[in-house]
Structure 1
Amino acid sequence: MAKKPIKNQNLTIRMDEKTRFALDFLVRLEGQNASKLVERIMLEKADASYFGHYNKHMERKEYNWRDIWHVSEGVRHLLFITHPGVKAEIHLTFEEEEMAEFVQRHWPFFCSSDRLYSFIAPYVDILWPHMDALVAEWREHKATDPWRAGESMKAILESVDVAPPVWPPKSNGDDE
């Protein structure tokens, strides 16, 4: 039998008396507790909210949060910062942009292609706890040793008996 999901995220909100009364009214009307009601309303709002971008044919492609949701925290974060629709409409922080560039440069450790469409969850799950240090290492050495962070990622994967991708990547004739 499946276990009931454990909820470990908290949200604290401040409300005036009118809003609190409206919440209590909805709770009674819907027959749900306040947490369940707020969760449901947020998901309904997110399902109805879209973002997008124009492709090279000037056609708008629409997405919502479900297009970038993944159960893996690392995959979810990388999907968010590399998604073309997100990059077109949502302002990323400098750190997010830098991580997206890191992932693009080191794509064999994260994706099945340099287009960053299909993330390899087992690789991401292993590397995710080390991402801040890996990006810092890349930032510090990219001008003098551009393959260094990749070698560190290879070592991390090998330390847990996972075969790493070929690194450095084979040149396809294009210069970086």
Structure 2
Amino acid sequence: MARPTAKAAKTEMLTIRLDPKTRFLLDYVARLNGQTITTVVERAIMAAASNNPIPGEDTYEPDTTWQDIWHVSEGVRKLRVARIPELYPTYEEERQLAFAKEHWPFFFEDAQGVSIISAYVDVLWPRIDEFVQMHEEGRSKDYFAAGAAMQKALGEAKLKVPEWPVKAKSDPKREPGNFSRDLDDDIPF
């Protein structure tokens, strides 16, 4: 019985211009370490990235590195990158993040957008531009249409569909005869 062949990992092609000296140095390091040129470049990039943390801010952990942002899901990576101004998110990334925050039940555990729901993102992200466009073009007629389309996509993937639109939580009603008050009720301003 034949075994199924494993799928090759996705790779990207990078073309760079090097002067003859730099090209020689790259070949020298590869030969010296018994590595391919690709391995030398990959490890150099990894070392450079590991040695360049993002200075801590209030919006994320101190000394965030690429390991804190990396995720196998492209959508999760994009959402994480878009939240960090020091990584210079593009207009498109900021637009996608704004959409995700507005439609937070489809992307995040809560409205603060701290914890990403990767299963939802894996299903929705390949169509994110379609959903964003649907929302931007149709919100004057049906503000919740993009959310309904995302609910359908998640349902087709057999995932639990989040409630949409999100119902506003009502304040707990006070029972008659219960005279307890909030401390804020006594503040005159």
Please, what TM-score do these two structures have when normalized by structure 1?
0.84
Supply the AA of the counterpart residue of 1:64.
Answer: T
Between structures 1 and 2, the one with greater strand share: 1
CA RMSD for the aligned pairs? 2.3
Please, what TM-score do these two structures have when normalized by structure 2?
0.79
Match of 1:51 among 35, 51, 54: 54
Match of 1:19 among 11, 17, 22: 22
Aligned residues: 166
Distance in structure 2 (CA, Å) of the matches to 1:170 and 1:141: 21
Q: Is the 8 A contact 2:81 2:87 kept in 1?
A: no
Supply the AA of the counterpart residue of 2:13.
Answer: N
Distance change >3 Å, CA 126–CA 116, structure 1 → 2: same
**Residue number in structure 1 paired with 2:139:** 142
**Residue number in structure 1 paired with 2:80:** 79
- Is 1:103 matched with 2:103? no
Instruction: Give the Å deviation of 1:7.
Output: 5.0
Distance change >3 Å, CA 23–CA 90, structure 1 → 2: same
Give structure 1 stretches of 5+ with no counterpart.
Answer: none
Distance in structure 2 (CA, Å) of the matches to 1:146 and 1:161: 25
Give structure 2 stretches of 5+ with no counterpart.
Answer: 1-5, 172-189
Distance in structure 2 (CA, Å) of the matches to 1:95 and 1:46: 24
- Is 1:120 matched with 2:126? no
Supply the AA of the counterpart residue of 1:96.
Answer: E
Supply the AA of the counterpart residue of 1:14.
Answer: R
Q: Percent identity?
A: 39
